[in-house]
Chains A and B, each alone.
Chain A
Amino acid sequence: MIADHLPALQVVVPLLAAPLMLLVRRGGFAWLLATLVSWTALAIALALAFKVREAGTISYAIGNWPPPWGIEYRVDALNSFVLVLVSLVASVVAPYARASVAAELPREQHYLYFTMFSLCLAGLLGISITGDAFNLFVFLEISSLSTYVLIALGRNRRGLLAAYQYLVLGTIGATFYIIGVGLLYLMTGTLNLADLAQRLREVHEIRPVLAALAFITAGVGLKLALFPLHFWLPNAYAYAPSAITAFLAASATKVSVYVLLRFYFVIFGVPLVFGRLPMAEVLITLSVLAVVSASLVAVFQRDLKRMFAYSSVAQIGYITLGMGLANKAGLTGAVVHLFNHGITKGAIFLLLGGVALRVGSTSLARAAGLARTMPLTSFGIVLAGMSLIGIPGTAGFVSKWYLILGAIEHGYWGLALLLVVSSLIAVAYVWRFVEMAYFREPEPGAARLAEAPASMLVPAWIMVAACVYFGLDTSFPLEGARSAVTVLLGGAR
């Protein structure tokens, strides 16, 4: 009985938890509920993924209004993969957040923090699961609004500016998206994604569709921080509370990537986007710029959170690069990297949260001799950094491998070479941390620093372990990505 309603519960559970927290107004209760909710969400996501693998796509009509009239929740191999990623990250971040939040936020804001966290989770899950273009917009706004609040909660006052800028830009992005959807509605008379995909094939007046594509590309491109629309991201990540940085870096941009994938490959279709329009070239060019430029910027950053935030922009470049390649290997690389980068960056930002807690700052200079005082944290960052570089045996290697294969399949030798060379830039910025932490003497006052508390270290290390585990046993992310790619490429034909 309940099993039939899993798609609805996936979103409803965190969505309803939020007002409950608001009513009770207790930090501890809110934390407990947020943790339980995210674990429940993970269980549901896994159950859904399992069901999709067994029985294929699940369609769920909200309120029993049959699609395309009612709102449909539609779970296939692609978005069940994203659901698992988002809820997995949430369920690691939530238990972690207690100690981190206690240190960074005043007491009376704790319950607000977890309320927003649950809302954001509900929004991200909703974006992934919904089969309705307008409903997607609603969830996009839910997740965005809660994100603005979360970023503004950061203890650095510059977080306010970062949140404000993100608010303005995010709103522009969402507006562009909804304009695009409006145009599509005008042409087809439907908002159901699956229905849209079908009806768009029959539309002959192509110009409004192209405009819709442009609006959606620009709007979603901003949400996923596609170069050169990434300017909001480094500040937002740098000034948000630590746990939120980890959560956003690992999930929010990934969900936007999913939206773009869905629109490009399933709704507009490969013949239009990559055949008629030069989107492949555009995506590849922008991605290459993102990878090289953002990595270089990362090398020169003086704050670890900002450094890895820029690295995120670069890593998203890898994902969109695989998207631009639009062949099986490239897309597999993109989808796998979605997951792998999620856990890698999640691990790094969780560990940096520990650094912020103990050292009081994430500036690179203050990390001198960190390996002495916080050996586990430092070693974890190094391991996750290796995954970022793409060293074999870590998760990052698997995605790079497929991206290179995808590039070679097209005969883009230069691109394949660039993929390899760009990891050298990643070596450079990860090395800056290694040099600081392992080869410098700690500052005199720093000798008494302790390792981060276990409640933060354990979740962080779960992510680190995942980076290594999924580098060795690639079956879960790879199989998930493969069947997701079948959805993407199958839907196009």
Chain B
Amino acid sequence: MSAEFPTALILILGALGVPFLRGRARAAWMLALPVLAFAQIVALPLGEYAQVEFLGETLVLMRADRLSLAFGYIFAIATLLNVIYSLHDEDTVQQVAALAYAGSALGAVFAGDLITLFIYWELTAVTSVALIWARRTERSRRAAMRYLLVQLASGMLLLAGAVLHFQASASIRFDLLGLATPGGWLILLAFGIKCAFPLLHNWLQDAYPEATVTGTVWLSAFTTKLAVYALARGYAGTEMLIWIGALMTAFPIFYAVIENDLRRVLAYSLNNQLGFMVVGVGIGTELAINGTVAHAFSHILYKALLFMSMGAVLLRAGTVNGSQLGGLYKSMPWTTGFCIVGAASISAFPLFSGFISKALILSAAADGGYTITWLVLLFASAGVFHHSGIKIPYFAFFAHDSGIRCAEAPRNMLLAMGLTAALCIGIGVYPKPLYDLLPYAVSFVPYTGAHVLTQLQLLLFSALAFSVLMRTGLYPPELRAVNLDSDWFYRRIAPAMVGALGAGIAAMRLALEETLLRVGAPLVQVVLRLHAHGGPLARTLSTGAMALWISALLAVYLVMYYV
């Protein structure tokens, strides 16, 4: 396929064809689309294609350089894996939305200018929201609405920033933006929302666990990684991002530890993993950017694998609350195995994909002299192992037997998980093909004695901590507290530190809500009363009143002109 044809359109236009097909034909069509997209990306020579004139500016729909290509590959791969994973579900809305969503993410990655980026940015928001909505519960409906609003706000900020940037620099290209202009700040904020920066992150943990079984897997792959790509493109080397990223790696850990909904645990750990990538972008050296890209690449795979396994559990067992699960390994041995592979990868066990990518970022931090950051990242790595590496498989598949006996996951799910697991291990064992894809040349050797030793020490001690806490009965979710969903920060059983942190945040939130309510509510009331159906502004006036209005306005004009 010609380079002039935007890759995004293969998937988006292809998605529009889905409703017209049934059964096997539809499955084949949906599988063919990502393969076709992948083939196009493989054949894509470096350069800029599909340039169109719009409002006097040149839009670049296809910019193929090493950075965008790396993300293009993984997005296409993830699309294929996710299609396989969701083949059992014949929900047309979801299938169309998911493919269009993946297509828009690809479009955004290849966008060479801010307008095109904005268009796809918004498209990812609009298409992905259907995946949450499609669960068709009141809860998911509300979560979807909140998610959509946040995502659209991000898009609006991006547009506003783009306009300012255009005013300042007379260029609409999407290159290194930096923080020199107000536009740069706005765009960073837009990316930050989508990347779930601390305090801008709530939408992620709010929405992802409410999506459908397959929807969460789709969501986990694209939205935030698109933001990481955008940051790497626009803000490489922005020092502030190091601190933001470090904070991001650390704080979700506490929440992840006390959360009961296992898909929400994964959402928190997704947030934490993004932190590593943001740190990489902030450091901005060649090694760090390589690390970010590599980590995004492997992260998409193992995070998808973990969400896939939890999705399978949700499908079969009907719940993913840690306190209600346990002992599922008997019913779902394959899923258990794949989940453990994902857990080992996210924990960065040597020979798994997380190890060879995270090591790049850690090294970049150490080489750059960011000692504190490096320590935070180490702490976060231990935490990851704790909540994603051990907690997820342990509570879902082992722990005390919940008595749930269910069928193994459907075949297409197993196939998708198997392929993903194979990729996770393959990349871990033989990282060279991945390293070759990275934006800059790699001289890094992951498997040195020091690297492996550090990592193993970390993992062992983390495992030790978990075991000790379990044995002594101190580990939070084992306590009889089922309803963790909404009131988790009131829990006192969490470790003291978490308690303090949680309470502090809760108090702040409460205070903020209180003030907003006090000040805002009456105002909102007035606005609502004025505009509601039958309100003064929406009512039909009597003819006389209308005539009065026009005379009044005439009088006002006359007075104003004469004075």
Residues of chain A having any CB pair with chain B under 8 Å? 164-165, 168-169, 172-173, 176, 207, 210-211, 213-215, 217-218, 221-222, 228-229, 231-232, 234-235, 277-278, 282, 293, 296-297, 299-302, 310, 391-393, 398, 401, 404-405, 408, 416-417, 420-421, 423-424, 427, 439, 472, 474, 478
Nearest first, the 4 closest Cβ-Cβ pairs linking A and B are: A214-B557, A296-B531, A218-B554, A210-B561
Pair A231/B553 contact, Cβ less than 8 Å: no
Do B531 and A214 have beta carbons less than 8 Å apart? no
CA distance in complex: A296, B562 (Å): 34
Identify A173's interface contact among B55, B538, B550, CB under 8 A.
Answer: B550
A478 to B557, CA, bound (A): 33
Least distance between A283 CB and chain B CB atoms (Å): 11
Complex: A300 Cα to B54 Cα, angstroms = 36
CB under 8 Å from chain A, chain B span 531-545: 531-533, 535, 537-538, 540-541, 543, 545
Q: Interface-forming stretch among B152-160, B249-257, B299-307?
A: B152-160
Q: List 22 A-B contacts (CB under 8 A).
A: A173-B550, A207-B562, A210-B558, A210-B562, A213-B557, A229-B549, A229-B550, A229-B553, A231-B540, A231-B546, A282-B560, A293-B530, A296-B531, A296-B537, A297-B535, A299-B531, A300-B538, A401-B55, A420-B159, A421-B156, A424-B153, A474-B55
Residue B122 is within 8 A (CB to CB) of chain A in the complex: yes
Residues of B within 8 A of A297 (CB): 531, 535, 537-538
Chain A contacts for B160, CB-based, 8 A: 416-417, 420
A169 and B527 contact, Cβ closer than 8 Å, known pairs A210-B561, A278-B560, A282-B560: no
In-complex Cβ contact of A169 among B149, B540, B550 (8 A): B550
Pairwise interchain contact A405-B163, C-beta atoms closer than 8 A = yes
**Inter-subunit contact A221/B531 (CB<8 Å):** no
Q: In the assembly, what is the distance between CA of A169 and CA of B119, in Å?
A: 43
| Distance from B547 Cβ to chain A, minimum over Cβ atoms (Å) | 6
- Please classify the interface of chain B as helix (H, G, I), strand (E, B), loop, or mixed, using the class held by over half of its residues: helix
Given A211-B558, A391-B122, A392-B122, A168 contacting B547 (CB threshold 8 A): yes
Give complex CA distance A301, B164 in Å. 36
- Bound Cα distance A180, B532 (Å): 37
Do A439 and B546 have beta carbons less than 8 Å apart? no
B:140-194 near A, CB below 8 Å: 141, 149, 152-153, 156, 159-160, 163-164, 167
CA distance A213 to B560 in the complex (A): 12
Measured between beta carbons, the chain B residues less than 8 angstroms from A222 are: 550
Q: Are A404 and B163 in contact (CB under 8 A)?
A: yes
- Tell me whether B276 is interfacial, beta carbon within 8 Å: no
Which residues of the partner chain A approach B541 to less than 8 Å between Cβ atoms? 231
B355 at the interface (CB under 8 A from A): no
Q: Does chain A have a CB within 8 A of B101?
A: no
Determine the chain B residues whose CB is within 8 A of the CB of A172 once the complex forms: 547, 550
State whether A398 touches B549 (Cβ < 8 A). Answer: no
Chain A, Cβ-Cβ closest to B145: A431
B55 and A398 within 8 A (CB): yes
Q: Which residue of A lies closest to B121 (CB)?
A: A392
Check if B131 is an interface residue, CB within 8 A of chain A. no
- Residue numbers in A under 8 Å from B531 (CB-CB): 293, 296-297, 299-300
Q: Which residues of A have CB within 8 Å of B149?
A: 424
B122 contact set on A, CB distance < 8 A: 391-392
Check B115 for interface membership: any CB of A closer than 8 A. Answer: yes
Minimal beta-carbon separation of B210 from chain A (angstroms): 15
Whether A169 contacts B156 by the Cβ 8 Å rule is: no
Which residues of the other chain, B, contact A277 by a CB distance below 8 angstroms? 560-561
B71 within 8 A of A: no
Chain A residues whose CB sits within 8 angstroms of the CB of B547 once the complex forms:
168-169, 172
Give the distance to chain A from B303, nearest Cβ to Cβ, in Å.
29
A462-B550 Cα distance, complex, nearest whole Å? 38
In the complex, how many angstroms separate the beta carbon of A404 from the nearest chain B beta carbon? 6
Are B152 and A218 interface neighbours, CB within 8 A? no
B157 nearest in chain A by CB position: A420
| Cβ–Cβ < 8 Å partners of A210 in chain B | 558, 561-562
Whether A293 pairs with B537 at a CB distance below 8 angstroms is: yes
CB of B208 closer than 8 Å to a CB of A: no
Residues of A within 8 A of B163 (CB): 404-405, 408, 416
A149 to B264 CA separation, bound complex (whole angstroms): 62
Chain B hits for A211, CB < 8 A: 558, 561
What CA separation (Å) do A277 and B160 show in the bound complex? 31
Q: Closest CB-CB distance, B144 to chain A, in whole Å?
A: 10
Decide: A213 near B549, CB < 8 A? Known: A218-B554, A301-B538.
Answer: no
A423 to B156 Cα, complex, angstroms: 10
CB closest chain-B residue, reference A162: B540
Query: Which chain A positions have C-beta within 8 A of B110?
Result: none
List of B residues within 8 angstroms of A439 by Cβ: 133, 136, 141
> Hey, which chain A residues are within 8 Å of B55, CB to CB?
398, 401, 474, 478
Contact B540 A214, beta carbon cutoff 8 Å: no
Which A residues touch B538, using CB under 8 A?
297, 300-301, 310
Contacts of A207 in B (CB 8 A): 562
Within 8 Å of chain A (Cβ to Cβ): is B118? yes
Contacts of B533 in A (CB 8 A): 300-302
Bound Cα distance A474, B57 (Å): 12
- Beyond A398-B55, A474-B54, A478-B55, is A218–B537 a contact (Cβ under 8 Å)? no
> Cα distance A214–B543 when bound, in Å?
22
Residues of A contacting B530 in the complex (Cβ-Cβ under 8 angstroms): 293, 296
For A214, what are the chain B residues with a Cβ–Cβ distance below 8 Å?
554, 557-558, 561
Nearest chain A CB to B457 CB, angstrom units: 51
- Of all chain B residues, the one with the shortest Cβ separation from A289 is B537
User: Do the beta carbons of B543 and A169 come within 8 Å of each other?
Assistant: yes
Which of chain B's residues has its CB closest to A404's CB? B163
Roughly how many angstroms separate A282 CA and B152 CA in the complex, as a whole number? 31
Other 19 A-B pairs with CB < 8 A, given A176-B554, A229-B550, A235-B540: A165-B546, A210-B562, A214-B554, A218-B553, A218-B554, A277-B561, A293-B531, A296-B530, A300-B533, A301-B533, A302-B533, A392-B115, A404-B163, A408-B167, A416-B160, A416-B163, A417-B160, A424-B149, A439-B133
